[in-house]
Amino acid sequence: MKHASTNAIQTFLLQCRQIIASKDIIPSTFVVIRSEKNKKTMLELGFTDKQLMAVLEELTLEDYAEGPRNDRDFRGTVWIFGKCIKNREVYIKLKISEMDEQGNEIATLICLSFHFSEKPLTYPYKEEE
């Protein structure tokens, strides 16, 4: 499987951080999909949206697993990251859409998945410990 360049990943993560930083000004720029898996994981971790955003802001090149790849449900691409939280691997799927939920042309960060991994992720840029 072909992986994104380190530059492309860093650019994507920078865009994510910029959108999260602007969400207090434009609340519609950050959306969390409330699937059962996502809600269950957030509940088990005792996480609020604010804590989830903090995890997303802290994502690094080493947390990258795969992408960009075509979104199977909607137009655009998704990026996959993973993070060990409370000794559990969490699967994180993110997308930046060029429109918010109201159809306004504005970059919107969508957290499609934030749940415990169903299978171990591979991190191509993680340093061996």
Domains of the chain, each with CATH number or no CATH? 6-116 (3.30.2310.40)
Q: How many residues does the chain have?
A: 129
- Predicted TM-score (pTM) of the model is 0.90
pLDDT digits (tens, 9 = 90+) for 79-128: 999 999 999 999 999 999 886 667 767 788 999 999 999 999 999 998 86
Please name the residue ranges forming H helices in the chain. 6-22, 36-45, 49-57
Query: Stretch 37-50: mean pLDDT, rounded?
Result: 95
* Mean pLDDT computed over 18-40: 83
pLDDT band at 129 (very low <50, low <70, confident <90, very high): low
Q: 77: which strand partners? A: 70
Strand extents, DSSP E, 1-129: 30-32, 64-70, 77-85, 88-99, 105-116
- Cα→Cα distances 26→48, 101, 115, Å: 19, 12, 26
Band of the pLDDT at 24, cuts 50, 70, 90?
Answer: low
Coil vs helix vs strand at 19: helix
Chain-wide mean pLDDT for the chain?
89
- 27 falls in which pLDDT band (50, 70, 90)? low
> How far apart (Å, rounded) are the C-alpha atoms in residues 19 and 64?
19
